[in-house]
Structure 1
Amino acid sequence: MADSKRSELVGAVETRGIEPVPDTERHGHAGQMFWTWFAANISLLGLPLGATLVAFRGLNIWQAVLVAVIGAFGSFALVGALSIAGKRGGAPALTLSRAVFGRRGNTGPTLVTWISRVGWETVNTTTAAYALLSLMAIVFGTKQNTPLTLVCLLVFIACTLLISGLGHATIMWINKWATYVFGLLNLLVMAFLVATVDWAKVLHAPAAPLSAVIAGVGVIAAGTGIGWANAGADYARYLPRNIPGGRLVLASAWGAGIPLVLLISLGSLLSAGDASLAQASDPVAAIDAMLPSWMSVPYLIAAFGGLLLSNHLSVYSAGLTLVTLGVRAKRTVAVAIDIVITLAGGIYFMLIAKDFYGPFTTFLTILAVPITAWVGVFAVDMTRRRFYDPKALMDPRRSGRYWYNGGFAWSACVSWFAAIVVGLLLTEAKTSDTDVWFSGPFSHSWLGTNGLGWAVTFVVAAVAYRLLLPLDRAVRAEAAVRANDTPPADPAAPTGPADPAGPAEERMPA
């Protein structure tokens, strides 16, 4: 226990893996979630995301701001709500998911989540390498070539590995203080970008139909909070269980919402006068071209730092997810494995692929479906579960509490799979109108055209799981045992009668 406590010191390597955190080692406050999600969202990738609202959806600036507020605040409120599970169980999200899907049934959601993390890391790494290449061209007069590209990729990956490898305590400390530095740099850059806005075109842009606004909300939600929904518990697991859940929701929503709304709104402003940002294969260079030459260095430093803050969170979660998936390695080794795969993805994007944001958008479109299906099932389970058995979460035996039927909780697994099928029926994944990767038979319906396949997926998953739960005898039997459980989760801590409904301030509506 002494080693695990020392690992929670800033600068020390976190030795804890996915095993639940005992109550005696819990610490911190809800405000940490504010800094966590603020740091994750100050990267300048928010600018091209906002640009797509105007260039591809035809929104005017007022509609774009409204879409940004609803999509960003709403999706990260969901992230905060799901992070309550981390506070309750003291474990990463996908480890807690074993209690919902069963030990074997949890493999599907965990694998999809890991792939999602690797994708986000590859996007961050590639964009940061572009920023570093541009910075070196300005400072040293170098030109982009293959060896230099590899060096830039390795520099960013080394920085990510250092922070993610050290772990939770260091990440939380860096999130707060680095956000001040890079946040201020971003504000400076944004002030100069505002000066380039073509206000005549912005103020006279016609409004788009309601369907485009609805679709825009879906784009922002899928591109921001939905991608992080299955990571919230990873950072809340060290928090004391007596922190009100509502504070986690508010801290997460405001922490992510503030920078996202500013960046997305500015991207919309810029695109109203020039659609090139939304179509740029190198968004870093496209934004740099809009600034005075003397602003390039601080801008590129801000871009690099913002992407690093986002990437180390994603890599940290990916390491935990890889261990949950069954890789028998320490958390630090799992992080290193993830980094190697990310490097390969960065090489592909920068040296092989011809288009950057085409594959990125396609990646988001496809993975938003299974991730949202997991969110729907997991959220419903949270309304009925206030306790996760710490020993059972780590127990791989067939006699384990969360083994259910052959390792599967069929009610959750069937609901997850059915929701994915329905979501894909409404989904079209393409890099361009002439390069369609997948097109569901109902992708051109009103729901499909307006990008609401992910929303339908959530509803189907939640409703199906709610209806199937009473029919799943193994899950009902586990719930009957749970009614007699006595939190806290630390077996060594004093125990007593527990309120099965949990603290009043964190209860979620049924």
Structure 2
Amino acid sequence: MSASKQGRILSRVEQRGIEPVPENQRNGAPGELFWVWFAANISILGIPLGATIIALGLNVWQAVLATIIGSFGSFALVGLVSIAGRRGGAPSLTLSRAIFGVRGNIGPTLVALISRLGWETVNTITGASALLSLCVIMFHTPAGYKDIPLLTFACVVIFVALTAVISVAGHAFILEVQKWATWIFGALTLFVAIYLVSTVNWGTLLSSKTGSTSAFIVAIGTIASGSGIGWVNSGADMARYQKTSVKSGSLVLTAAAGAGIPLTIVIGVGSILTAGGSGLASASDPVAAVRGALPVWVSVPYLIAAFAGLLMSNNLSVYSAGLTTITLGIRIPRVYAVSLDIVVTTVGAMYFMLGSGGFYGPFVTFISLLAVPLTAWVGVFLVDLIERKSYDSAALLDLGKGSRYWYWHGINIAAMVSWLVGLMVGFLFVTARVSDKVVWFSGPLANTAIGKNGLAWLVSLLLAGVLYAIFGLPQVKKQETQLERDEANRA
């Protein structure tokens, strides 16, 4: 890239909101998306996820294999949703209007927005915690959030300000930042990972016993729900600038490999540490734990890598959340939508860090529950993608009765019923467990093999997809035929 072109990218703020990108402005290539998904998943904080799956009783080799299947597989779903972005040139939830109707789409969009805001709050709290830990090491400040409230506030502001700069600038800027972040912070993460692995008791690691098939299946589901499923409704957001000539397989491969490679490395390190007897990976707060567990020359790079990885993930999430906010019906420019989402997550982070006694357990449980309605939406969306080869750009933005996507009172009954049945049946298999002593609810089928193996999300995806294939696809075929006729008449 020439210096002049790069300068234009880095100084230009994207003005487009959810309106589809004209074909003559789609110049993206799949390789760009590889860097986007790689940088969003290089966070060293994937290490505790490795501890989680080892705790299920797996040995390290099973854990690594489960990580490969769960991360590559779940991000392949992200790649499949990206195909719709290439076809329609619009964000995922905007394209979803064609499926659910301009009013019916409000439900899936609201769930997606809540999920995005929830994880952004987690990112902000953890990113600010990394900065606080750096202050403890370098300036010997108190470690608690409430010890110096002004310092905590400053750390939150720094994290969200950097997020805002990148997210507000928009698509082209994000592509450039994520590419450089992959090389710089990816290398730093790899350095820390190599050191951590060198501290492992390999005798303990190699002597661990093989876990059960059931635990292996649970581990795959845990990795999938903690990685790709949370990103699946952002696939088209980043792919809407891709050339229409880009092959579908390339989009799937770049998403799966871009995220799967760093996730396998980082989560694998967490598995190795835990299986090797290190307590670092299983610490309740892995950011704070490094202060005493590692020498300064390692803990400082660790915290910088943690902060940067969270920032790269957060700026992508906030960008997507801004588009989702507009799709929900809040008619404001994209820049203002991004700013609104940042304000919400900043207030949430400050409340939980300075005002609330506990956060991670209940909040992460809550947003993890959203994996069920999210995957039910994925089931409907991907089945629709089988028949829907094009989208009516004008109709995607038309919320009135004359819209091609108005259906019945603004709702596509086939899609809505498929989604609702999929999520309701999925919740029958779910146990919302905050801790060993605190359980919010347990579905009547939670103790079945599906519930125990953590496969509720898969049930939702498959059931919603099958129902829509039966009741919705015939309608899509008719719609495609009519759209082709209309385009022929205009020509």
Deviation at 1:150, TM superposition (A): 1.1
Partner of 1:107: 106
Return the TM-score normalized by structure 1. Answer: 0.91
The answer as to whether partners of 1:127 and 1:282 remain within 8 angstroms in 2 is no
Q: Give the length in aligned residue pairs.
A: 483
Deviation at 1:479, TM superposition (A): 3.5
Deviation at 1:444, TM superposition (A): 1.3
Stretch deviating more after TM superposition (478-487 or 39-48):
478-487
1:229 equivalent in alignment to 2:232: yes
Partner of 1:45: 45
Partner of 1:211: 214
Deviation at 1:478, TM superposition (A): 2.6
CA–CA separation in structure 1 for the residues paired with 2:280 and 2:360:
11
**Aligned residue identity for 1:481:** Q
Per the alignment, do residues 405 and 312 of structure 1 end up closer, same or farther by CA in structure 2, a change over 3 Å counting? Answer: same
The answer as to whether partners of 2:290 and 2:299 remain within 8 angstroms in 1 is no
Deviation at 1:110, TM superposition (A): 0.2
Secondary structure of the residue aligned to 1:429 is strand
CA–CA separation in structure 1 for the residues paired with 2:467 and 2:233:
20
Deviation at 1:449, TM superposition (A): 0.8
The answer as to whether partners of 1:8 and 1:168 remain within 8 angstroms in 2 is no
**Aligned residue identity for 2:60:** I
CA–CA separation in structure 1 for the residues paired with 2:41 and 2:291:
19
Deviation string for 1:170-189 (max 9, x for gaps)? 00000101211111110111
Deviation at 1:11, TM superposition (A): 2.5
CA–CA separation in structure 2 for the residues paired with 1:167 and 1:146:
32
- 2:329 aligns with one of 321, 326, 330: 326
The answer as to whether partners of 1:281 and 1:357 remain within 8 angstroms in 2 is no
The answer as to whether partners of 1:365 and 1:427 remain within 8 angstroms in 2 is no
Deviation string for 1:417-446 (max 9, x for gaps)? 000001100011111121111211111111
1:335 equivalent in alignment to 2:338: yes
**Aligned residue identity for 2:242:** L
Return the TM-score normalized by structure 2. Answer: 0.94
**Aligned residue identity for 1:13:** V
CA–CA separation in structure 2 for the residues paired with 1:395 and 1:142:
55
After TM superposition, where is structure 1 displaced by more than 3 Å over at least 4 residues in a row? 5-8, 273-281, 287-290, 352-357
The answer as to whether partners of 1:379 and 1:462 remain within 8 angstroms in 2 is yes
The answer as to whether partners of 1:288 and 1:299 remain within 8 angstroms in 2 is no
Secondary structure of the residue aligned to 1:404 is coil
Partner of 1:19: 19
User: For residues 51-450 of structure 1, what are the structure 2 equivalents within 5 Å?
Assistant: 51-55=51-55, 57-144=56-143, 145-274=148-277, 276-277=279-280, 279-450=282-453
Per the alignment, do residues 306 and 6 of structure 1 end up closer, same or farther by CA in structure 2, a change over 3 Å counting? Answer: closer
Deviation at 1:281, TM superposition (A): 3.4
Partner of 2:479: 478
The answer as to whether partners of 1:39 and 1:175 remain within 8 angstroms in 2 is yes
The answer as to whether partners of 1:193 and 1:290 remain within 8 angstroms in 2 is no
The answer as to whether partners of 1:110 and 1:321 remain within 8 angstroms in 2 is yes
CA–CA separation in structure 2 for the residues paired with 1:307 and 1:297:
15
CA–CA separation in structure 1 for the residues paired with 2:47 and 2:392:
43
More helix by share: 2
Runs of at least 5 residues in structure 2 that lack an aligned partner in the other structure: none
Deviation string for 1:388-422 (max 9, x for gaps)? 01101001111110001100010000000000001
Runs of at least 5 residues in structure 1 that lack an aligned partner in the other structure: 497-510
The answer as to whether partners of 1:276 and 1:286 remain within 8 angstroms in 2 is no
CA–CA separation in structure 2 for the residues paired with 1:485 and 1:51:
56
CA–CA separation in structure 2 for the residues paired with 1:479 and 1:335:
34
Stretch deviating more after TM superposition (463-472 or 145-154):
463-472
Deviation string for 1:234-273 (max 9, x for gaps)? 0000111111111111111110011000011110111224
CA–CA separation in structure 1 for the residues paired with 2:465 and 2:135:
50
Quote the RMSD (CA, aligned, Å).
Answer: 2.0
Per the alignment, do residues 441 and 276 of structure 1 end up closer, same or farther by CA in structure 2, a change over 3 Å counting? Answer: farther
The answer as to whether partners of 1:218 and 1:452 remain within 8 angstroms in 2 is yes
Per the alignment, do residues 275 and 299 of structure 1 end up closer, same or farther by CA in structure 2, a change over 3 Å counting? Answer: closer
Deviation at 1:353, TM superposition (A): 4.2
The percentage of counterpart residues that share the same residue type is: 55
CA–CA separation in structure 1 for the residues paired with 2:107 and 2:478:
24
CA–CA separation in structure 1 for the residues paired with 2:248 and 2:201:
43
CA–CA separation in structure 1 for the residues paired with 2:295 and 2:91:
44
CA–CA separation in structure 2 for the residues paired with 1:483 and 1:259:
42
**Aligned residue identity for 2:71:** A
Per the alignment, do residues 303 and 446 of structure 1 end up closer, same or farther by CA in structure 2, a change over 3 Å counting? Answer: same
